């Protein structure tokens, strides 16, 4: 799919390149990863910044750093290391750059998350240690190019290091949802494409039906009866709560549960509390089988169809299921398309994210030896190390200079292959907000004799439209080449309905930008270059209120058979008009924003708080779009906020800041599995730590509109709360 095999055939395996992996650490004792750590091993070093017990949550064990990045309890980083560097093995797979050297930087404990502070420390250490490439399969929804991790990662890339970062797995939540630090201006943000095939296993029912499940190795179970955690095959939160006390001992059952709402590991833990040993999770959508993180549980995904069959027909007929060793090559009908979960860009400050895509769905890799040694997993976490490995091959061929590192992204983007929206005949091309420049073709990138800069053409929104552009074509070959330039548009994607973000997959329409290309044919001698002027016009016939993203490619076709392209992206609307604060009851059933007690229970209009226990106020809100500046202030209860619209932001009289956040991302949907459905802030003190005196107040929540003047009060959407009284006993 990517040309890695062709470079391997030419003898390139990443030798001499050092790759830093910032993740959960690595099980470097794995035979395929060199069986050790040190100067004479594949994993040459690294650092554990956190220790096993670190979770990233407040009031939990603090980091306990040491010099050993060994991971035997999480496994994610070992998967990343295998995609980059696994030695050829009996399962007939190898890492993209298995002769490269690896440093491991552990920023996760056995469970939980990693703070921005820890990730920044790891980035700085990885840079100081001299890694040529730094890769991060981590992040959180950000939507802006400005955060601590994005800025540091981008600055490292600007210094001549290749930085590859996962775009995120938030495709269900629509556009403007790419993760940080992949939203950094100069990093390579990587989306995921479905693989064409993978080896899965078949279970067999007692009446002869095959049930395909997403495991490389067979489960050890014979003639198990079926137990469903719910017989309602439409339930949205199956097994997300502890199972009822009437649940039998599940040790001798095959437990079947429906995907959705909460993490699959939470479902499996609830089943394991009643002794479950083998579980199958059926999809909540009709789509090809994926894979999932199941920690140490024996579990896998199956199709929606098979799950419904086991529950609706298997249980009534007392059918049993047997797990033998029946591997087969499962072909994905969506192979080569963007994975449904791959996050959409662009950023709210209109940077081109993701940068490009790579195979990330159902990827076979290494796992810690105490966790099975091998695993099939999916996500942009898997596609990102493939690109890091590809960059190692590029640097091995071209030379690992800072100058070469700075042009890797453009080289990969120039030569990426276009990705359609579907497998249907005459399908539109998928929006570049989902694919980036396309599917990486590393062999073509390494051997390309020409390129086009800039590789990303940023048109912005209609208010800040950059429709006049110049691209430069460089002929680095040995002969004169004639290039014809053509416009290849993608489908245009509506991103908002009413004021609400549309969830993925975003549907496309055949409304395209128009482009004047002058000249459309250039003759370039060997070693020379030529400039071409582009004049863009946004697509006509689209509704500005849907904030449609349009994109496409300017492709050069040489008479020597070469093709390469630059990618463009814009929004056919003024981003300043995008609604930011949700003022409806659509998602929570209660109008937002709102004041609640510390437990989250909405309170009455007369709100008297003692500031003791749960009788403490909190503000709950939801953002429909990102905002460059969010602030909650305490104001006098008699304040008439509407009279301040003509003032500067800092001239509005307030009593103190309760909460402030710059470059806040939008929320997803309330109840969403990513935990980003809404935001809240318990209001115990002012932000500076001083106590709020007794008295009667209101809360003023303000969120700046995108691409607005942050000094002017009219640039903000605002909400004032009902009266809040503080009366301590």
Mean pLDDT within 314-330: 91
HEC letters along 57-122 = CCCCCCCCCECCCECCCCCHHHHHHHHHHCCCCCCCCCCCCCCCEEEEEECCCCCCCCCHHHHHHH
Residue 431 has pLDDT above 80, yes or no: yes
Quick one: pLDDT band at residue 451, thresholds 50, 70, 90? Answer: very high
Distance CA 44, CA 647 (A): 59
Dump pLDDT digits (tens) for 189-244.
Answer: 999 999 998 888 999 999 999 999 988 889 987 789 999 999 999 999 999 999 99
pLDDT of residue 627: 98
Quick one: pLDDT band at residue 448, thresholds 50, 70, 90? Answer: very high
pLDDT of residue 670: 59
Quick one: pLDDT band at residue 590, thresholds 50, 70, 90? Answer: confident
Kindly state the tokens that stand for 88. Answer: 């050829």
For 367-455, list the strands marked E by DSSP. 374-377, 450-453
Architecture of domain 1-193+332-447: 3-Layer(aba) Sandwich (3.40)
Quick one: pLDDT band at residue 98, thresholds 50, 70, 90? Answer: very high
Residue 40 has pLDDT above 90, yes or no: yes
Highest mean pLDDT among 46-60, 211-225, 260-274, 427-441: 427-441
**Cβ partners under 8 Å of residue 93, min gap 6:** 86, 364, 365
Highest mean pLDDT among 296-305, 527-536, 583-592: 527-536
Mean pLDDT within 683-690: 93
Residue 290 has pLDDT above 80, yes or no: no
| Kind plus residue range of the DSSP H or E element containing 515 | strand 514-518
Dump pLDDT digits (tens) for 695-709.
Answer: 999 999 999 999 999
Distance CA 53, CA 66 (A): 13
Q: What count of residues does the chain have?
A: 729
Mean pLDDT within 123-141: 98
Residue 367 has pLDDT above 60, yes or no: yes
Distance CA 19, CA 164 (A): 11
Dump pLDDT digits (tens) for 602-632.
Answer: 887 667 899 998 899 999 999 999 999 999 9
pLDDT of residue 97: 99
Q: List phi, psi (to 5°) of 340.
A: -60, -30
Query: How many CA atoms lie less than 13 Å away from 275 in the CB half-sphere?
Result: 9
Least confident of 112-126, 150-164, 211-225: 211-225
Q: Please say whether the dihedral angle defined by the alpha carbons of residues 609, 681, 624 and 671, taken in this order, is positive or negative.
A: negative
Residue 86 burial class via C-beta count within 10 angstroms: exposed 0-12, middle 13-18, buried 19 and up: buried
Distance CA 461, CA 457 (A): 13
pLDDT of residue 671: 62
pLDDT of residue 601: 86
Mean pLDDT within 416-421: 99
Least confident of 284-293, 397-406, 458-467, 515-524: 284-293
Residue 722 burial class via C-beta count within 10 angstroms: exposed 0-12, middle 13-18, buried 19 and up: middle
Kindly state the tokens that stand for 477. Answer: 């070959």
What's the CATH class of domain 197-330?
A: alpha beta
The tokens 């409304």 sit on which residue?
511
pLDDT of residue 639: 80
The tokens 């993978």 sit on which residue?
198
Residue 79 has pLDDT above 80, yes or no: yes
pLDDT of residue 644: 61
pLDDT of residue 77: 98
pLDDT of residue 677: 86
What's the CATH class of domain 449-577?
A: mainly beta
The residue ranking higher by pLDDT, 57 or 552, is: 552
Residue 74 burial class via C-beta count within 10 angstroms: exposed 0-12, middle 13-18, buried 19 and up: buried
Residue 263 has pLDDT above 90, yes or no: no
pLDDT of residue 653: 87
Q: List phi, psi (to 5°) of 5.
A: -60, -35
Distance CA 224, CA 637 (A): 65
Mean pLDDT within 45-64: 94
Mean pLDDT within 367-383: 94
To the nearest whole number, what is the mean pLDDT of the chain? 94
pLDDT of residue 702: 95
Q: Please say whether the dihedral angle defined by the alpha carbons of residues 37, 43, 47 and 51, taken in this order, is positive or negative.
A: negative
Residue 80 has pLDDT above 80, yes or no: yes
Residue 643 has pLDDT above 60, yes or no: no
3 state SS of 337: coil
Distance CA 566, CA 452 (A): 6
Residue 646 has pLDDT above 90, yes or no: no
Quick one: pLDDT band at residue 245, thresholds 50, 70, 90? Answer: very high
pTM value is: 0.92
Dump pLDDT digits (tens) for 169-184.
Answer: 999 999 999 999 999 9
pLDDT of residue 648: 86
pLDDT of residue 181: 98
Distance CA 143, CA 137 (A): 17
């Amino acid at each position: 799919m990517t040309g890695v095999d062709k470079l391997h055939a030419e003898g390139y395996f990443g030798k001499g390149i050092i790759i830093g992996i910032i993740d959960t650490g690595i099980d470097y004792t794995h035979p395929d990863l060199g069986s050790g750590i040190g100067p004479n091993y594949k994993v040459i070093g690294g650092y554990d910044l956190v220790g096993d017990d670190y979770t990233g949550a407040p009031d939990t064990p603090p980091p306990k750093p040491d010099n050993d990045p060994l991971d035997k309890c999480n496994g994610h980083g070992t998967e990343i290391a295998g995609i980059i560097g696994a030695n050829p093995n009996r399962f007939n797979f190898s890492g993209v750059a298995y002769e490269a050297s690896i440093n491991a930087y552990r920023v996760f404990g056995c469970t939980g998350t990693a703070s921005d502070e820890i990730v920044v420390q790891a980035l700085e250490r990885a840079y100081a240690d001299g890694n040529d490439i730094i890769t991060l399969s981590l992040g959180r929804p950000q939507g802006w190019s400005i955060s601590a991790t994005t800025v540091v990662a981008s600055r490292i890339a600007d210094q001549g290091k290749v930085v590859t970062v996962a775009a995120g797995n938030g495709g269900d939540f629509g556009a403007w949802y790419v993760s940080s630090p992949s939203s950094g201006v100069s990093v390579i943000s990587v989306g995921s494409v479905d693989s064409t095939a993978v080896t899965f296993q078949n279970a067999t029912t007692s009446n002869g039906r095959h049930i395909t499940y997403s495991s490389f190795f067979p489960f050890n179970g014979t003639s198990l009866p079926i137990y469903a955690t719910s017989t309602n095959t439409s339930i949205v939160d199956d097994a997300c709560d502890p199972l009822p006390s009437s649940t039998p001992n599940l040790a001798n059952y095959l437990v079947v549960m429906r995907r959705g709402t909460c993490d699959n590991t939470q479902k499996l833990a609830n089943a394991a509390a009643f002794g479950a040993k083998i579980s199958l999770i059926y999809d909540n959508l009709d789509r090809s089988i994926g894979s999932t993180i199941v920690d140490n549980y024996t579990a896998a995904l199956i199709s929606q169809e098979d799950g419904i069959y086991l529950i609706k027909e298997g249980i009534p007929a007392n059918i049993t299921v047997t797990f033998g060793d029946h591997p087969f090559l499962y072909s994905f009908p969506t192979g080569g398309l963007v994975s449904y979960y791959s996050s959409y860009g662009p950023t709210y400050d209109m940077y081109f994210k993701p940068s490009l895509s790579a195979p990330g769905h159902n990827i076979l890799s290494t796992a810690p030896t105490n966790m099975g040694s091998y695993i099939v997993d999916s996500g942009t976490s898997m596609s990102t190390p493939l690109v890091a490995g590809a960059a190692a091959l590029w640097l091995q061929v071209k030379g690992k200079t800072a100058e070469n590192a700075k042009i890797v992204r453009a080289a990969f983007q120039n030569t990426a292959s276009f990705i359609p929206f579907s497998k249907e005949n005459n399908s539109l091309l998928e929006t570049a907000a989902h694919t980036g420049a396309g599917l990486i073709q590393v062999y073509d990138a390494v051997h390309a004799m020409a390129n086009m800069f800039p590789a990303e053409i940023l048109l912005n929104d209609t208010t800040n439209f950059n429709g006049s552009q110049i691209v430069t074509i460089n002929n680095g070959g040995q002969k004169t080449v004639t290039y014809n330039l053509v416009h290849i548009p993608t489908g245009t994607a509506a991103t908002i309905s009413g004021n609400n973000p549309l969830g993925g997959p975003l549907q496309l329409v055949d409304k395209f930008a128009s482009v004047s290309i002058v000249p459309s044919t250039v003759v370039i001698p060997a070693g020379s270059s030529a400039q071409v002027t582009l004049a863009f016009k946004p697509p006509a016939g689209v509704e500005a209120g849907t904030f449609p993203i349009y994109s496409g490619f300017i492709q050069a076709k040489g008479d020597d058979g070469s093709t390469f392209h630059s990618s463009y992206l814009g929004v056919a609307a003024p981003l300043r008009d995008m609604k930011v604060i949700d003022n409806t009851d659509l998602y929570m059933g209660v109008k937002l924003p709102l004041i609640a007690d510390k437990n989250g229970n909405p309170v009455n209009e007369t709100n008297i708080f003692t500031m003791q226990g749960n009788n403490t106020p909190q503000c709950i809100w939801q953002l429909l779009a990102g905002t460059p500046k969010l602030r909650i202030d305490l104001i006098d209860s008699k304040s008439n906020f509407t009279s301040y619209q003509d003032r500067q932001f800092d001239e509005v009289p307030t009593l103190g800041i309760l909460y402030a956040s710059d470059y806040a991302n939008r929320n997803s949907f309330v109840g969403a599995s990513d935990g980003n459905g809404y935001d809240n802030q318990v209001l115990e003190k002012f932000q500076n730590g001083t106590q709020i005196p007794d008295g009667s107040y209101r809360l003023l929540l303000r969120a700046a509109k995108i691409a607005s003047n942050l000094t002017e009060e009219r640039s903000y959407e605002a909400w004032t709360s009902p009266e809040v009284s503080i009366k301590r006993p």
